[in-house]
Chain A
Amino acid sequence: MNVTAGVFGLQGDVEEHLSALETARARTGIGGESILVKSVEDVKRVDALVIPGGESTVMGGLSSVKGLMPSLRERIGGGLPTLGTCAGMILLAKKAQDRVVGETRQASIGALDVVVERNSFGRQRESFETQLSVALPGGERFPGVFIRAPTVKSVGPGVKELARLGGAVVAVQQGNVFGTAFHPELSGNTLFYEHLLGLARGGK
């Protein structure tokens, strides 16, 4: 069974996610096409969606050019397997605030019942690599790449914590929706993508 996977393609490290999806397809044997999602038609077409790293305010602002938010909310709310990394997780969150400037009024999909803090570890010079343990099969030793990363400040009922770093929650799952504060697409580990493609195939 083929799975059409989409990468939200308005801004950010889009190609790196496409390449991670290709590797995940080779490892799982799940075929099909991976496309850029830039229009409402694209949102309607995909069986799984990745929202990349980048700047969440930029992606949110650009989503209005072709009015993507309503269809994203409908599809993701309706159970579309979705992964948001870093800025992608911020876009999925119900509420976002910035560590320095406080509450940010930015467009949000609202599919993850969490409050995220942007730039939670500081600025770029505080960006880091570390090793994590992710609560998914095969996720015991996961390379965490944190770039001006957010953290999850609070989670609502029905949200499962998938990884912690010190006291901070850095990966969550709510139903078919995953959010990570770090960048699996830069790490070479395609566990999240394999999981996402598996969920999409199972749902068909």
Chain B
Amino acid sequence: MISRAGEPEEVAATRGEVPQRTGTTLVKRGFAHMLKHGVVMDVTTVEQAQIAEDAGAVSVMVLDKLPYDIRQAGGVARTASLKVIEEILNHVTIPVMAKCRIGHTYEAKVLQEAGVDMVDESEVLTPADEERFIWKWDFTTPFVNGCRDLGEALRRITEGASMIRTKGEPGTGNVAEAVKHIRVLDNEIRKLSGIYESGDTQELLRLSRELKVSIGLAEETARLRRLPVVNFAAGGIATPADAALMMTLGCDGVFVGSGVFKADDARERARSIVVAVTYYDDPKVVAEAQKMIDERKSMMGTTDALRMQERGVNA
């Protein structure tokens, strides 16, 4: 069974209304469950999508530019060309995701029309509305959103996100921020569960107000001792060991952005990261995977000052 925590009453009320129903909370969250223990890879072309599929990516994420190149290019980053998205949809058999700007309801509608399997409302693109994210319950297509802490994650779930990714700092090749945020999230959930289990309702209420979420959603998260939706790690993952580290920290899977296609050994890199995510509990296999890549071919890190992760955090 999967959790329906955070589902608004009007959405719950439509359940079982017609004999065959699309876009339910169960099928949207369920889609994310099928990606577990997998790797979603950023791609910008059909050729890259094919390499990702051959390597065993569980899905591809279509962007106009990889996060590293967005940093280099500057300017406004928008959703990818529909022509490219459609080419990729018709070419690979694995699910296809695409990014839209934070709060840009219409870019998301366009992506839903095009038939993408999941929309990523992403801070990697230039936000259209930093105060208000998309109301995702209105969509048949499921959404994934980023978070740096528990409050952000639960607020995105309240808006209808079917999946969460803990943010790193995209396009930097540095996994440190991703590690930090999964730890923050973990500690906050542990604290919440502790209070819930102690039976201190008043303190739980106080904490849910601090997180700016409903007491119901806070309670369900505390009871589950994890987010009520699938949670992947993202941002700065560049090697099999990086990916295995994130799995060890309790993520359900990983997103790899610039790490594959900004490396000079994309094919080997893609395959090795997939293998490392599956066998993260077997250091022998991860070592074999790490042998498939060459550190001299890893993406060059960047210490660019732009903090994409801070976009929309107060909404």
- B37 CB-CB contact with A under 8 Å: yes
Expressed in whole angstroms, the minimum distance between the Cβ of A105 and any Cβ of chain B is 11
Asked if A101 and B56 sit within 8 Å, CB to CB, the answer is: no
A38 touching B279, Cβ below 8 Å:
yes
B37 touches A129 (CB 8 A): no
Contact present for B56 and A145 (CB under 8 Å):
no
Residue-by-residue, is A56-85 near B (CB-CB < 8 Å gives 1, otherwise 0)?
011001100110000000000000000000
Provide the residues of chain B in CB contact with A66, threshold 8 Å: 285
Cβ-defined contact, A128 with B22, below 8 A:
yes
Per-residue contact bits, chain A 78-110, to B (CB 8 Å; 1 contact, 0 not): 000000001100000000001011001000000
- Picked from B20, B59, B116, B278, the residue with its CB within 8 Å of the CB of A62 is B278
A124: which of B26, B33, B142 is its contact (CB, 8 Å)? B142
Instruction: Please provide the chain B residues from 254 to 285 with a CB less than 8 Å away from any CB of chain A in the complex.
Output: 274-275, 278-279, 282, 285
Contacts of B1 in A (CB 8 A): 16, 19, 186-188
Q: Using Cβ atoms and an 8 Å threshold, which residues of chain B touch A57?
A: 53, 56, 93-94
Bound Cα distance A129, B58 (Å) = 23
Contact with A along B108-135 (1 / 0, CB 8 A): 0000100111100000000000000000
- Known: A15-B36, A118-B93. Contact between A125 and B2, CB under 8 A? no
B contact patch SS: loop
Alpha-carbon distance between A81 and B67 when the two chains are bound, in angstroms = 47
Q: Which residues of the other chain, B, contact A11 by a CB distance below 8 angstroms?
A: 36-38, 58, 278
Taken together as a complex, chains A and B put the C-alpha atoms of A38 and B285 apart, in Å, by 12
Among A101, A104, A118, max chain B CB count under 10 A is at A101
In the complex, the answer to whether B141 meets A12 with C-beta atoms within 8 Å is no
Question: Which residues of A lie under 8 Å from residue B142 when comparing CB positions?
Answer: 124
Does A124 contact B31, Cβ atoms closer than 8 Å?
yes
**Smallest Cβ distance from B22 to chain A, in angstroms?**
5
Docked CA distance A54–B277 (Å): 14
Count residues of B near A (Cβ-Cβ below 8 Å). Answer: 44
Residues in B with CB closer than 8 Å to A183 are 30
A128 and B33 form a contact (CB under 8 A): no
Tell me if B27 and A129 are in contact (CB < 8 A).
yes
B19 adjacent to A58 (CB under 8 Å):
no
Q: Are B275 and A145 in contact (CB under 8 A)?
A: no
| B291 nearest CB across to chain A (Å) | 13
Question: CB-defined interface of B25-49 with A at 8 Å, one 1/0 digit per residue?
Answer: 0110011011111100000000000
Instruction: Establish whether residues B117 and A129, one from each chain, have CB atoms under 8 Å apart when the complex forms.
Output: no
Determine if A53 and B279 form an interchain contact, defined as CB atoms under 8 angstroms apart: no
Within 8 A of B (CB), among A113-170: 118-119, 123-131, 145-148
CB < 8 Å neighbour of A12 from B23, B34, B89? B34
The distance in angstroms between the C-alpha atoms of A186 and B30, with both chains bound, is: 7
Given A124-B142, A128-B22, A130-B20: A55 in contact with B58 (beta carbons within 8 A): yes
A123 partner, pick from B38, B91, B115, beta carbons under 8 A? B115
Closest chain A CB from B60 CB (angstroms): 11
Q: What is the bound-complex CA distance between A149 and B112, given in angstroms?
A: 19
Chain B positions near chain A (C-beta within 8 angstroms):
1-2, 19-24, 26-27, 30-31, 33-38, 53, 56-59, 89-95, 112, 115-118, 140-142, 274-275, 278-279, 282, 285
Q: What residues make up the interface of A, taking CB atoms closer than 8 Å to B? A: 9-16, 19, 38, 53-55, 57-58, 61-62, 65-66, 86-87, 98, 100-101, 104, 118-119, 123-131, 145-148, 183, 186-188
Taking A54-B36, A55-B94, A148-B34 as given, write out 11 further A-B residue pairs in contact, using a Cβ cutoff of 8 Å, ordered by the A residue number. Answer: A10-B278, A13-B36, A54-B34, A57-B53, A58-B94, A101-B91, A124-B118, A124-B142, A125-B140, A147-B27, A186-B26
16 contacts between A and B (CB under 8 A): A12-B36, A13-B34, A53-B34, A55-B35, A66-B285, A98-B93, A101-B90, A104-B93, A123-B95, A124-B117, A125-B140, A128-B21, A145-B27, A147-B30, A186-B1, A186-B2
